[in-house]
Homo-oligomer: A and B are copies of this chain.
């Protein structure tokens, strides 16, 4: 039998013993699992960045994927499990961080609220559901416990929405949004790559990006940084299925004063 894969994502920072404790809890329940870190360097409480990282689960094997970016822990927010059409189980808070990932994995097949105390670690910390609720659920699922046993089924329409939607083509432009600014100051936009062909953009086409306050940036649509000179802006497919706006060897975010969450309207020049 293939060893199950459990992945962990959080905003704890990699220097936290909380990650080690979550791995210990997972392996105590599911000792043959491969437990891997997907990402622990998410900005604190940044649901948009967390959602985008969870989308990259598509590069992992079908498995049990936990997200602990959870500003609402200790409040009434629900703990949930989503089964995807690809066969994964996504486990985390019902705050939208799992929704976009579920879509990239074929869509939600079933969702339940985790309420059965039998499947939690006790005492349940009021502020660390990662260790006491989410990871035990993922590990137990990997051992064969059925999703129905964790609690009541939820309709998808009841779940908290994703922190961002998909870019659309309207008014002769791509209507997009910045969903992440990475450590290099590069913007990640909510544009999946098929949007570009639908909008009729080819390599080296020149585009105009307009941000709030009418800041306009002109940039070519290219494949890689080296396609423009040092210090020049560019827009290109990123490594994980979306689009990035960057400056070759520079910071787009700092140079043009753009932050995560801003709208970006893109037109052909």
Contacts and interface: CB of A to CB of B under 8 A. Distances in A.
B224 A56 contact: no
Given A27-B61, A39-B15, A239 B7 contact: no
Query: How often does this chain occur in the complex, in copies?
Result: 3
Contacts of A106: none
A41 interface: yes
A207 interface: no
Contact of A59 (B24, B38, B41): B24
B183 A60 contact: no
Contacts of A20: 7, 9, 36-39, 56, 60
Given A24-B7, A24-B36, A60-B24, A224 B74 contact: yes
**Most chain B CB atoms below 10 A, which of A20, A31, A36, A75:** A20
Interface string A29-51: 00110111111110000000000
Interface residues of A, number: 48
Contact of A15 (B24, B36, B40, B126): B40
Nearest to A7: B20
A72 B17 CA distance: 24
A56 B17 contact: yes
Interface of A: 2-3, 5, 7, 9, 13-21, 23-25, 27-28, 31-32, 34-41, 53, 56, 59-61, 74-75, 125-128, 131, 183, 223-226, 239-240
